[in-house]
């Protein structure tokens, strides 16, 4: 686990500048980073340059990283690791169209509007919707809405099955 030595003890080691409520904790709750992606996790396709994820995939073919508190999409973790945090309200578009690919150069952070204009996905991708459905058991609609940067009514529609069938 990466811990930056320049962050003084007593402050959250993610660099946010906050202090964990539990003084012995290294991170504010929810700030502990997900594990880093290593070259063991993917193989490089010599033709396309895609980094094909070799660990578990979700039902829609996207790579995933799991731990006890949930799972994250591998390409999002890769983008955050090699490029930058995905800006608030932006989604990652696979320019190569290969959901298994975690090559950050094949990912572009775009607004949801641009993403749907490109026609590759609806506002939420099918894998987003599947992930959201799996989160209802353990997370509130508000927390899920925040995680996916959509409003609560969208989450509610998924929950009640009014759309996204």
What are residue 141's DSSP bridge partners?
none
Would you say 2 or 165 has its CB closer to Zn ion? 2
Residue with tokens 């490029």: 83
CB of 153 to Zn ion, least distance (A): 29
Nearer to Zn ion, 51 or 148 (CB): 51
Based on CB atoms, which residue is closest to Zn ion, 100 or 129? 100
Q: Which of 157, 159, 151 is nearest to 134 (CA)?
A: 159
CA distances from 94 to 79, 85, 134 (A): 11, 16, 23
Give me the least distance between CB of 145 and Zn ion, in Å please.
21
Q: Quote the least distance from Cβ 154 to Zn ion, whole Å.
A: 27
Strand (E) positions, 16-106?
42-44, 51-53, 64-67, 70-73, 90-94
Q: How far is the CB of 18 from Zn ion (least distance, A)?
A: 5
Q: Which is nearer to Zn ion, 108 or 112 (CB)?
A: 108
Which residues are near Zn ion by CB under 5 A? 12, 14, 16, 28, 31, 50, 96, 98, 101, 103, 106
Q: Give residue 161's region: left, alpha or beta (phi > 0; psi -120 to 50).
A: left
Tokens representing residue 118 in the block: 């490109």
């Amino acid at each position: 686990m990466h811990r930056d030595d320049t962050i003084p003890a007593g402050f959250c080691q993610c660099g946010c500048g906050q202090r964990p409520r539990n003084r012995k904790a290294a991170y504010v709750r929810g700030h502990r980073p997900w594990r880093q992606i290593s070259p063991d996790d993917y193989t490089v396709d010599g033709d396309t340059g895609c980094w094909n994820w070799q660990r578990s995939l979700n039902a829609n073919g996207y790579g995933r990283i799991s731990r006890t508190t949930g799972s994250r999409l591998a390409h999002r973790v890769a983008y955050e690791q090699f490029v930058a945090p995905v800006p608030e309200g932006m989604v990652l578009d696979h320019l190569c169209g290969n959901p298994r690919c975690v090559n950050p150069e094949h990912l572009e952070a775009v607004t949801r509007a641009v993403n749907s204009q490109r026609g590759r996905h609806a506002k939420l991708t099918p894998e987003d919707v599947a992930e959201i459905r799996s989160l209802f058991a353990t997370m509130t609609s508000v927390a899920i809405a925040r995680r996916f940067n959509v409003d609560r009514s969208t989450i509610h529609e998924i929950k009640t099955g009014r759309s996204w069938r």
